[in-house]
A and B are shown apart, each in its own frame.
Chain A
Amino acid sequence: MKPGPGPEKSAVTPAPQGAAVLPSGRAVPAGRAGTNIRRLENRAAYMFLIPWLAGLFGITIIPVTVSLYLSFTDYNVLSAPTWVGLENYEKLISGDRRYENSLWVTLKFVGYSVPLVLVFSLTVAVVLNRGLAGLAIYRSLFYVPSLIGASVGIGLLWYQVFGERGVFNDLLGLFGFEGRSWVTNPRYALSTVIALNVWTFGASMVIFLAALRQIPDSYYEAASIDGANGWQKFRRITLPLLTPVIFFNMVLLTIQSFQSFTQAFVISRGTGGPVDSTLLYTVYLYQRAFQHLEMGYASAMAWVLLIAIALFTALIFWSAKYWVFYGDK
Chain B
Amino acid sequence: MATSKTTDAVAAPVFERSYDTEALAANRRRRRNKARAKKLGLHLILLGLLFVMLYPVIWMVFSSLRPENEIFADLGLIPDTWTLQNYITGWNLFGDKTFGVFFVNSFIICALAIIGNLVACSMAAYAFARLNFRFKWFWFALMLGTIMLPIHAQLIPQYVFFLKIGWVNTILPLVVPKFLATDAFFIFLMVQFMRSLPRELEEAATIDGATYWQRYWRIILPLTMPALATTAVFTFINTYNDFFGQLIYLTEIDKMTVPVALRLFLDPSGGTSSYGGMFAMVLVSIGPVLGFFLASQRLLVRGIATTGFK
User: Do A and B interact directly, with beta carbons closer than 8 Å?
Assistant: yes
Cβ contacts B207-233/A at 8 Å (1 or 0 each): 000001100100000000011011001
Which B residues are CB-close (under 8 A) to A251? Answer: 188
Known: A140-B293, A144-B290. A25 touches B227 (CB 8 A): no
Cβ of B10 and Cβ of A25 under 8 Å apart?
A: no
Cβ of B226 and Cβ of A214 under 8 Å apart?
A: yes
Cβ of A310 and Cβ of B145 under 8 Å apart?
A: yes
Cβ of A2 and Cβ of B198 under 8 Å apart?
A: yes
User: Min CB distance, A152 to chain B, in Å?
Assistant: 5
Cβ of A52 and Cβ of B202 under 8 Å apart?
A: no
Which B residues are CB-close (under 8 A) to A143? Answer: 290, 293
A66 to B149, CA, bound (A): 13
A73 interface residue per 8 A CB criterion:
no
A138 to B121, CA, bound (A): 29
Which A residues are CB-close (under 8 A) to B271? Answer: none
Tell me which of B127, B161, B268 contacts A63 (CB under 8 A): B161
Tell me which of A130, A156, A301, A326 contacts B2 (CB under 8 A): A130
Cβ of A306 and Cβ of B189 under 8 Å apart?
A: no
Which residue in chain B gives the minimum CB-CB distance to A2?
B198
Cβ of B300 and Cβ of A209 under 8 Å apart?
A: yes
A142 interface residue per 8 A CB criterion:
yes
Cβ of A295 and Cβ of B156 under 8 Å apart?
A: yes
A241 to B6, CA, bound (A): 18
A229 to B195, CA, bound (A): 29
A18 interface residue per 8 A CB criterion:
no
Known: A25-B131, A302-B150. A136 touches B196 (CB 8 A): no
Cβ contacts B112-130/A at 8 Å (1 or 0 each): 0000000111011011111
Per CB-CB distance, the 7 closest pairs between chain A and chain B, nearest first, are A55-B180, A213-B303, A25-B132, A302-B153, A210-B226, A45-B133, A66-B157
Q: What are 7 A-B pairs with beta-carbon distances under 8 A? A: A24-B132, A45-B131, A59-B177, A145-B57, A214-B305, A218-B310, A303-B153
Q: A66-B157, A217-B305 are in contact. List 9 more A-B contacts (CB 8 A).
A: A5-B310, A26-B131, A59-B180, A63-B154, A63-B157, A127-B46, A211-B196, A290-B152, A328-B195
